[in-house]
């Protein structure tokens, strides 16, 4: 099946620093990738949708300047948390949707746990 | 707006017990409905889906039927195994397949 990887799986950083999380589709091309945030014992909340080669579409309430998304190729999207603060600590999950006739299905990465001290 | 509500966990069962995880939804239009499973340390995987009313999705012994009249999509399995221990998410599409809206997830623990 389609595989999506994320790197790193865990990251701890100091408050005020920036952290980049990579999401890769390993065996398919993804024209659309999604970034989610998951709080403990809560659901996945969609943060933004990114299409290769264009600007990401952010959900209401998500700060564009804080969560920078780049989808520069058909297999790679990055999420950069800028000037991270403890409240940004969370589990970040990406998903990718094939660019062919794969329809609606999204394939999910294993997630990245961010801890901001 | 569109939303998904699923039963709180954790659900703890003995092996071979019957499983039901309730899921109800609120949506405009005619969403497609999904169950995803997240095994420890892994990403979410699509377990089953149903795209229209009265459709039954099934996979690996799990089933769920799209009930428009009760706006429900309950997940069932007749005999659970230890290997079914995971977190299960009910979800629906919104915005023409472009977005998935998830329930809070239900953790299932199956003991031998």
Comparison of pLDDT for B43 and B91, the residue scoring more: B91
Q: A111 falls in which pLDDT band (50, 70, 90)?
A: very high
* B98 with A41: Cβ contact below 8 A: no
Report how far Cα A16 is from the mean position of its chain's Cα atoms.
Answer: 20
Tell me how long chain B is: 112
Residue-wise pLDDT tens digits, B8-21: 889 999 999 999 99
Residue-wise pLDDT tens digits, A32-70: 999 999 887 778 899 999 888 888 999 999 999 999 999
Q: What is the mean pLDDT of chain B?
A: 92
Lowest-confidence segment of B23-37, B40-54, B92-106 by average pLDDT = B92-106
CA end-to-end span of chain A = 37
Indicate the burial class of A96 (C-beta count within 10 angstroms; 0-12, 13-18, 19 or more): buried
In a mutational test of the A interface, the residue from B30, B40, B100 whose CB has the highest number of chain A CBs within 10 Å is B100
Q: Give me the residue from A34, A46, A110 closest to B42, CB to CB.
A: A110
């Amino acid at each position: 099946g389609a595989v999506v990887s994320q790197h790193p799986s865990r990251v701890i950083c100091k408050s005020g620093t920036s952290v980049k999380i990579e999401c890769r589709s390993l065996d398919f091309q993804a024209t659309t990738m999604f970034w989610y945030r998951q709080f403990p014992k809560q659901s996945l909340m969609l943060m933004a949708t990114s299409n290769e080669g264009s600007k990401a579409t952010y959900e209401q309430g998500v700060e564009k300047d804080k969560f920078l998304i780049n989808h520069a190729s058909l297999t790679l999207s990055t999420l950069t948390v800028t000037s991270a603060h403890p409240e940004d600590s969370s589990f970040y999950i990406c998903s990718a949707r094939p660019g062919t006739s794969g329809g609606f299905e999204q394939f999910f990465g294993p997630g990245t746990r961010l801890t901001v001290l | 707006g569109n939303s998904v509500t699923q039963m709180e966990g954790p659900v703890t069962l003995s092996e071979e017990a019957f499983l039901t995880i309730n899921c109800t939804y609120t949506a405009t239009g005619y969403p497609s409905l999904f169950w995803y499973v997240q095994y420890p340390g892994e990403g979410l995987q699509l377990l089953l889906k149903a795209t229209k009313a009265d459709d039954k999705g099934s996979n690996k012994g799990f089933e769920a039927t799209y009930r428009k009249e009760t706006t429900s999509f309950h997940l069932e399995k007749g005999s659970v195994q230890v290997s079914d221990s995971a977190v299960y998410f009910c979800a629906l599409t919104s915005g023409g397949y472009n977005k998935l809206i998830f329930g809070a997830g239900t953790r299932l623990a199956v003991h031998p």
